[in-house]
Amino acid sequence: MRYTAVIISLLVLLSFNVVSRESNVLQTTKTQINHSKIKVLNFGTFHFGPTPDANSTEFDEENKSLHKEVRAISKMIAKFRPTIICVESVPEKNEQLNLLYQQFLKHQSELITSSGETSMIAFDVARLNNIEKIYGIDNHMGYNYSVGDFIENSPELTNSIDPKTYLAITNTPFKHYPELAALDKKYKSLSLLEKLKFINHPINLDASINANADKLLYVGLDDNFEGADNAALFYHRNMKIYSNLNRIKMNKSDRVFILMGAAHTAFLREFIKRSPKFEMVDTLEYLKTE
């Protein structure tokens, strides 16, 4: 009996050692793969200027005290040491975009506000890292993100799919995350830095995909797919944005900073997580004061 127990113990120990070695090998392989990938700082923001987006943040881009906050944040981001910078502008306007960037370089003491966060943050991060060219990777596609609200607010129409879930996502996006719900409630009073930290929180990025696309999957009239059809258009737009990112020639030593509206950042996060080419760094690690 004792002999059997000893044998069993030895087999269990041997099995544990084998599993442990396999785990170490997998971890080493994962580390080696990640080291061979292109690092990406995938950064979400609200739009500093006028926007057609469903949600907007009040921001006086001409306020000089806010310019100091923007400059401080640009210095934080610049520590990532990007070699490539991509922004929410269509590639067809790259020439105009970079003419504006060159204009900024000639008068670096003043931020250019005409292109919102692109000219205020991306230009300054590029300057701090001696980058010569900035890339637009956006793709414009029309879609109706308000179709669900329109149906819910029209007495003559009935959402035949799942109005309960649609309204829950709309009204309580952070139901299971009280800390984020509290931040969301006092969002307007947050500093610019705190707003950007909130925007780039992984749970908030997931909520952004829900708010801009996935909640529409709970909306439709009769046997139709009004919500899903519009959600598909937004997915399609972000797929094209990711394809534009991949058009840019880069190598393993490049480091890519992407500055986009939060919903696009959220979608790019999903694509990049599964990419054999890219590895995301932790955005929140670059939003820390010294």
Structure tokens belonging to residue 272: 């990049």
pLDDT tens by residue, 114-167: 999 999 999 999 999 999 999 999 999 888 989 999 999 999 999 999 999 999
Contact 216, 148 (CB under 8 A): yes
Q: Which residue has the higher pLDDT, 20 or 107?
A: 107
Q: In the prediction, which pLDDT does 119 show? A: 96
Q: In the prediction, which pLDDT does 8 show? A: 60
223 contacts: CB under 8 Å, gap ≥ 6: 160
Q: How far apart are CA 208 and CA 191, in angstroms?
A: 20
pLDDT tens by residue, 228-273: 999 999 999 999 999 999 999 999 999 999 999 999 999 999 999 9
Q: In the prediction, which pLDDT does 4 show? A: 65
Q: In the prediction, which pLDDT does 60 show? A: 79
Structure tokens belonging to residue 176: 């299971």
pLDDT tens by residue, 64-90: 889 999 999 999 999 999 999 999 999
Q: How far apart are CA 87 and CA 117, in angstroms?
A: 9
Three-state secondary structure readout of 125-192: HHHHCCCCCCEECCCCCCCCCCHHHHHHCCCCCCECCCHHHHHHHHHCCCCCCHHHHHHHHCHHHCCH
Edge-first strand order for the sheet with 84-87 is 135-136, 84-87, 255-261, 38-45, 278-280
First CA to last CA across the chain, in angstroms? 64
Q: How far apart are CA 221 and CA 263, in angstroms?
A: 26
pLDDT tens by residue, 29-65: 444 555 789 999 999 999 986 555 555 567 777 888 8
Tell me whether residue 229 is exposed, middle or buried, using C-beta atoms within 10 angstroms of its C-beta: 0 to 12, 13 to 18, 19 or more. Answer: middle
Contact 98, 146 (CB under 8 A): no
Model pTM score: 0.85
